[in-house]
Amino acid sequence: MRISMVMAMDRNKLVGDRGVMPWKIPSDLKYFKQLTMGKPLIMGRVTFESLGGVLPGRPHIVITRNPDWMHKGVEVVHCLDDGIDAARRYDTDEMMVIGGADICAQAMPHTERLYLTVIDHEFAGDRWLESFSWEDWTEVSRQETDESADGGYRFTYYVLEAAAR
Ligand SMILES: NC(=O)c1ccc[n+]([C@@H]2O[C@H](COP(=O)([O-])OP(=O)(O)OC[C@H]3O[C@@H](n4cnc5c(N)ncnc54)[C@H](OP(=O)(O)O)[C@@H]3O)[C@@H](O)[C@H]2O)c1
């Protein structure tokens, strides 16, 4: 089963701001839904809290160090490897690591495909995808939008595959 990651970042690799996304781009959320539907999601506890609840149609695997943390409809694990093992139990071709920056830093070396939305703008925030470097990836496809598309921002959907490591 392929290990994939889905993230959106700005020009400076910013991904988060005080526990939430720094922007609201409805078409990117729709794209996220299309990509992830039916597939197991692996995420950090902070990212789960930012979702506001369980997203329908996708098993949720949440990583936390807190042995007492639980949430209805969520499988809790205490390290990334256990999250990946849990995702492998589902009968799908792909598992989706969906953030945040902390979990992505740990998952990046294992990630085979990266669905990366790059927003051509500089936002304010406090979490960056520092673990991402363009030179580690080969471009499979890109789809560019213009300012009129959504939210007043220009952005590009990249599909990237890990370069030989
Ligand atoms: N732009 C995007 O595409 C995107 C996507 C997702 C999230 N985000 C944003 O990113 C931000 C959240 O990212 P983040 O880096 O702060 O947090 P995160 O990666 O979502 O979660 C971090 C938490 O995961 C748990 N954790 C991490 N490593 C662990 C390990 N090795 N073993 C056990 N538990 C572990 C810990 O939970 P405990 O503290 O419970 O122990 C840690 O506090 C938010 O602002 C969110 O909106 C952006």
pLDDT, tens digit (0-9, with 9 covering 90-100), for 19-61:
999 999 988 999 999 999 999 999 999 999 999 999 999 999 9
What is this structure's pTM?
0.97
pLDDT, tens digit (0-9, with 9 covering 90-100), for 115-159:
999 999 999 999 999 999 999 999 999 999 876 667 788 999 999
Q: Which domains does the chain have, with CATH numbers?
A: 2-162 (3.40.430.10)
Specify the DSSP element, H or E, that contains 120: none
Specify the DSSP element, H or E, that contains 51: helix 45-51
Pairing of strands 60-63, 41-44: parallel
pLDDT, tens digit (0-9, with 9 covering 90-100), for 73-95:
999 999 999 999 999 999 999 99
- Which of 103, 104, 111, 129 maximizes ligand 1 atoms within 8 Å of its Cβ, making it the mutation to test the pocket? 103
